[in-house]
Structure 1
C-alpha cells in the first residue's frame, strides 16, 4: 500500500499547516471543484472578461456545496438535487442573518445568487448537467426572483422543507442513536436511584438490564457494558444529560431538543451525540497490548478506506503484513459497528452517509500524535518506512544551468526565491522544486502555463483534469531557454497562489548540489491562508494585538501548533535541505 504520510516541515516556517478536521463530503467537494477550477476560470474570463473574480464565485459555490454534502450527501459537484440545494442556500443565509441581524445589506445573498447563476451556466454550457433540465431551470428561476426566499417561493413545489426532518429520521434509525434516547430517559428517570457515587459497574449493569429490549442484538456482556458506558458519556458530552459524581443525572441544555422529532436543533442534538460516540469509540485503547493496538489501527484504516470510496471487502484474504489475531479482532470491531448501525450490511464495510459525515480522516482526534510518533504510526498502519524517492544522479550534472527567479504574484512586500536548476529536468520536477522552495506540502492541484492566459497548460496526468500537455513529458529547457523567458505556475485553485518563473541567467555550468536555492525574501505564506490577500490580512492581525481579528488569527495559528511566526524570516539552508531530500 502506498504510504499516506504526513508531510514534514521542510523549511521557512516554524510549523506546518494542519487543515481543520472536515467531513468526507467537504473533501469530495474540494477535490471536485479543484478539478474544475482551471476550466471554470477560463470559461469565466471569456464570459465576463474578468477572470480574477472567478475564484470568488467558486468559493461561494464551494461553501454551499460543502454544506449540502454534509446535510444531503453528494456524488458529484455537478450532480445535485436543485430544490434541496435551494433549501441549503436558504438555511445558510438565514443563519448568517441571525448571527448579524444588523447587517441588512443582503451582501451574502447577492454573492451567493450571482455565484450560483454563473456556476449553473458553466455546468450547462460545458455539458456537465446530466439530470432533468427542468430542475436547473427551476433553480435558476428562483435565483433570479426579487426575493427567492419569500414565503411564496418557499412554498413552491419541490421545496425541501423537510430536509432536516429527513436527515433526523435517518439518524433516529441508527440503533446506537435509539439506544441513546432510551439511556437519556432512563438516566434522568429511574436510573437516578442507581447512580450512587457515579457511573460504576452497578449503574452500568442496571442500565443494561433496564434497556435490555432496546439494546442492539448481538453484543456480548463485555461489549454491552462498553457501549452503554460510552453512550452515557456521549450523552453528557453532547449536553443531553449532566453527570456529577455526587448528584444524580439531570437533563442537560440539549435534552429537550434531543427528543424532538423535527427541526434543525433536534437534528443538531442527535448529530452531536453521534459525533461524541464515534469519537469515543475510535479513540486508541489505553494500556493496550501490541496485538490490540494493531487491530485498532487496521479497523480504523478500513473505516478510512470506506470514507474514501474504496470500502474493504469483508471476505478478502488476510494481508500478510497483519497478524491473524489482529485481522480477526479488526473484523470483530467492524462487526460491533454493524450491530450499532454504524457500518452497513453487505459484502463490503460501507458506511451510512451521516456516519461518514461525522468520521474524520483519523488524524488528530483518533490518533493522538503526542502519544504515537511517526514511526509508531507507520508500524501501526503497516506502511513502508520511506516514501519512494527519485534516484540520485550517478554522476554530477555537468550541463548548462538556469538561474530562475520564482516570484509570488501580488505579494506585498515581495516574496521570492532564486534557484539554480539543471536543464535536463522536466516540469514535474520544477513543480517539486517550487513546493520545496515555498514550503508547501503539495496538497492541492497545480498547473503551468506558457504564453499567458489562453496559452498552453501543463499539469500532472490525473483523472478529471484536462491539461494541454502532461508536465512529466516536457523538459524545462523546452520552455525556458534564454534570459527573460517566462512561465506561469498556479497552485491551489481555491487560494489562488500564482508564481511567475523568470530566467535571470543561463550558466554554462555550476558546481555543487543541484537544484539549489541561492537567495530569497520573506517567509512563504502558510497553506490554506486565503491567498495573498488573506495572508496579508492574517500577518497584519498577528502583528497587532489591538487588531480586531488578532485573537481569532492567533487561535488559528494555535490550532496548527504554532505559537508565533516571523513573516520576514527566510532560511536558504532549510530550503536546500528540503531540495537535497527531494533530489
Structure 2
C-alpha cells in the first residue's frame, strides 16, 4: 500500500494574481463586499453573533470569490455559477490546508461551508439572490451542515483562526497598524535601569520624535501627536501595553498577539485596538471653537456616507453652507485617515469594508448604552445644534401657474391597499418626486431607490452614485418628460432589501391648481414603517401585534415601542400630516 504523502503548500493564494497586479475581478469583489459589509453586519447581529464572526464570514466569502474570478468572469458578488463557485471553494480549502492534518482540513472545510451557508441565507432574505431556486438548493446541498450561529458545539478553533488570518492579512497592511506595532515596541523598550517608558507630559512628543521616520512624517506636529494619543489609548485598552505604578509602561498581556496578529487572540486584540482608535478619533471634540466643531461634523458626515458606499467626491466644489476654512480643515482630517489606511485612495472618500464594520459596531454599542429616551433626545439635540443647518430646497418666489399632474401612488403587494393621491407641478424633476413619495409614506429616505419606465426591463433613473449602475440620473429629467398624459405610468422602488414598490399612475392632467403644491388630496391606511421587512414582513408584524397569543407578539410589541409607537392603527391616515411634511420640504 502506498504511503500517504503530505500536500505541498502552493505558492500564493489560488485566488490572487501571482505577479502582484490586482485584477478587474478582484476590484469588483472588493467594491461589492465592502459596500455590502455594514448591512451584512447589522443583519448578522440579529442572531446575537458578534461582529468579529460576521467579518470572518465575509473574509471567507471574499477569498473564495477571488479564486472564482481567477478562472471565470464574475459580474457581481451576488451572481455566480454555483458549480464553478463550489470548485473555487474546494481549491481554497485545499490551499489553506497545506501541511495540516486531515482532521484540521475537514475543520477548515466545515467552517468555509458554514460561512457560505450564512451568506446564502443573507442573499436570499435580502432579495439579492440572482440565480434560480434550483441553483440555490444545489449549492446548499453541497454545504449541508450546522449553522455558523451554533459554533459553541463545534471544534473549529484551528480553522477559525486560519480564517481570521484571511481578514487580518488585509487589516495588518494598514499603515496605522504598522505605526501601532512600532509604538508598542517603543513603549516597552528598556530605557536606562528600568524596563519600559515613563508616562509623563513629554511622553507623546518624545514618541513623535522617535517614530518620525514612518507614517508620521506625512503629518504636522499637531496631527502626529493627536494620532499617537489615540493610538496609545487603543494599545492600553487592548492590553498591548500596560501601565505599572508609578507611571511605568511595559509590554501588556496581549503584546505578543498584537505583534504577530494571527488566530483568534490576535484578531480579538487588533479588533479592540481598532475600535478604540476609531471611537476616539470620531468622538465629538471637547473644544467649543465653532471651526473645530463644524470641521468634525463635516468630516464625520463624509465618513458616514462612506459607510453606506456613497462616499463624498473629493474634488466636489465647496458647499456654500460651510466656510472655506471648515471645508479645507475637513479635507485635511480625511487626509489623515487616508494616510493611516482607514479611508481608501481614489476620487471618493470610501471605506474599506472592515473599517465600515468597526464603525457600525461602534454605533451599535452607543445605542446599547443605558440612556433613557429623554437623555438620548437631549444628546441628539445637542449634536444637531452644533452642526450646520442642512441646505433646503429654494422656495418658489411666485406661485406656480402651470399644468399639474394628479398622481396616484399605490404601494404594491399590500392588502388592504395603501395609496396616496398627490398634485404635482410638471416642472419638478424626478428627484423632487422621490422626496414627494418619501413624505407621502412618512419614510426617512435612509435607503437606495430608483425609478423605472417601461416595466422591469425599461430605463432606470436614480441619484448620481458611483456604485449604482442606473441608466439615467434622475435630477436630469423633469416629471413631465415621463408622465405627460392620463394613464401614463412610472414605477418606483425603495429599499432593495425590504423591496417597497410604488406604482405611479397619472389620473388627470389639470390646467392649474390653487393652494399648496405639491399637495396630498387623498389616500388610505397608514404607511408601513421602514425596515419592517417589506409588504409581507409588515403584514406579519401587524398580525403578531394584534394577537396577544402570537408567538412573536412580545418581540414585535417591543420593536414598535422602540420606534416610539406603543399603539398603532393600520387604518389611520392623515392628509394634514403629509401636507405639513410636503410644505416643509417644498
Q: State the TM-score, normalizing by the size of structure 2.
A: 0.56
Partner of 2:376: none
Deviations 1:391-445 (A, max 9, x none): 4764556x7874x554323324442334456788887765554332112345422
Do the aligned residues in 1 keep the contact of 2:427 with 2:480 (CA within 8 Å)? no
> What is the CA-CA distance between 1:574 and the residue it aligns to?
1.2
Q: Secondary structure at the match of 1:372?
A: helix
The alignment status of 1:377 with 2:383, answered yes or no, reads no
The alignment status of 1:464 with 2:461, answered yes or no, reads no
Partner of 2:142: 147
Do the aligned residues in 1 keep the contact of 2:298 with 2:330 (CA within 8 Å)? yes
Question: Gaps spanning 5+ residues in structure 2: where?
Answer: 1-29, 39-53, 94-108, 146-159, 368-378
Partner of 1:440: 443
- For the residues of structure 2 that align with 1:180 and 1:348, how far apart are their CA atoms? 26
- For the residues of structure 2 that align with 1:205 and 1:212, how far apart are their CA atoms? 11
What aligned pairs does 1:283-298 form with structure 2 within 5 A after superposition?
Answer: 283-297=283-297
In structure 2, relative to structure 1, the CA distance for the partners of 1:526 and 1:280 (3 Å cut) is: same
- For the residues of structure 2 that align with 1:405 and 1:321, how far apart are their CA atoms? 36
Partner of 1:522: 525
- For the residues of structure 1 that align with 2:510 and 2:337, how far apart are their CA atoms? 63
Aligned partner (choices 478, 490, 497) of residue 500 of structure 2: 497
Q: Secondary structure at the match of 1:370?
A: helix
Do the aligned residues in 2 keep the contact of 1:523 with 1:567 (CA within 8 Å)? yes
In structure 2, relative to structure 1, the CA distance for the partners of 1:335 and 1:329 (3 Å cut) is: same
Do the aligned residues in 2 keep the contact of 1:417 with 1:520 (CA within 8 Å)? yes
Deviations 1:211-268 (A, max 9, x none): 9856754477766664454334334656878999999999999888656543366335
Q: Secondary structure at the match of 1:286?
A: coil
Partner of 1:94: 114
Do the aligned residues in 1 keep the contact of 2:449 with 2:492 (CA within 8 Å)? no
Do the aligned residues in 2 keep the contact of 1:164 with 1:267 (CA within 8 Å)? yes
- For the residues of structure 2 that align with 1:202 and 1:508, how far apart are their CA atoms? 77
- For the residues of structure 1 that align with 2:252 and 2:544, how far apart are their CA atoms? 38
Do the aligned residues in 2 keep the contact of 1:342 with 1:352 (CA within 8 Å)? yes
Question: Gaps spanning 5+ residues in structure 1: where?
Answer: 1-22, 32-62, 100-105, 122-139, 151-159
Deviations 1:442-461 (A, max 9, x none): 542233556x777x667458
- For the residues of structure 2 that align with 1:79 and 1:119, how far apart are their CA atoms? 16
In structure 2, relative to structure 1, the CA distance for the partners of 1:431 and 1:164 (3 Å cut) is: same
- For the residues of structure 2 that align with 1:547 and 1:239, how far apart are their CA atoms? 47
Do the aligned residues in 2 keep the contact of 1:164 with 1:264 (CA within 8 Å)? yes
Do the aligned residues in 2 keep the contact of 1:299 with 1:330 (CA within 8 Å)? yes
- For the residues of structure 2 that align with 1:435 and 1:79, how far apart are their CA atoms? 29
Do the aligned residues in 1 keep the contact of 2:427 with 2:478 (CA within 8 Å)? no
> What is the CA-CA distance between 1:311 and the residue it aligns to?
5.9
> What is the CA-CA distance between 1:575 and the residue it aligns to?
0.9
**Higher RCO structure (Cα 8 Å, ≥6 apart):** 1
Do the aligned residues in 2 keep the contact of 1:174 with 1:342 (CA within 8 Å)? yes
- For the residues of structure 1 that align with 2:37 and 2:478, how far apart are their CA atoms? 23
Partner of 2:273: 273
Q: State the TM-score, normalizing by the size of structure 1.
A: 0.57
Q: Secondary structure at the match of 1:447?
A: strand
> What is the CA-CA distance between 1:274 and the residue it aligns to?
1.4
RMSD of aligned Cα (Å): 6.4
In structure 2, relative to structure 1, the CA distance for the partners of 1:180 and 1:408 (3 Å cut) is: same
The alignment status of 1:386 with 2:392, answered yes or no, reads yes
The aligned length equals 472
Tell which deviates more after alignment, 240-249 or 497-506: 240-249
Do the aligned residues in 1 keep the contact of 2:244 with 2:250 (CA within 8 Å)? no
The alignment status of 1:566 with 2:568, answered yes or no, reads yes
In structure 2, relative to structure 1, the CA distance for the partners of 1:494 and 1:169 (3 Å cut) is: closer
Tell which deviates more after alignment, 230-239 or 321-330: 321-330
What aligned pairs does 1:195-274 form with structure 2 within 5 A after superposition?
Answer: 202=199, 217-218=216-217, 226-235=226-235, 258=258, 261-263=261-263, 266-274=266-274
- For the residues of structure 1 that align with 2:259 and 2:561, how far apart are their CA atoms? 36
Do the aligned residues in 1 keep the contact of 2:462 with 2:473 (CA within 8 Å)? no
- For the residues of structure 1 that align with 2:225 and 2:55, how far apart are their CA atoms? 41
> What is the CA-CA distance between 1:281 and the residue it aligns to?
0.8
Q: Secondary structure at the match of 2:292?
A: helix
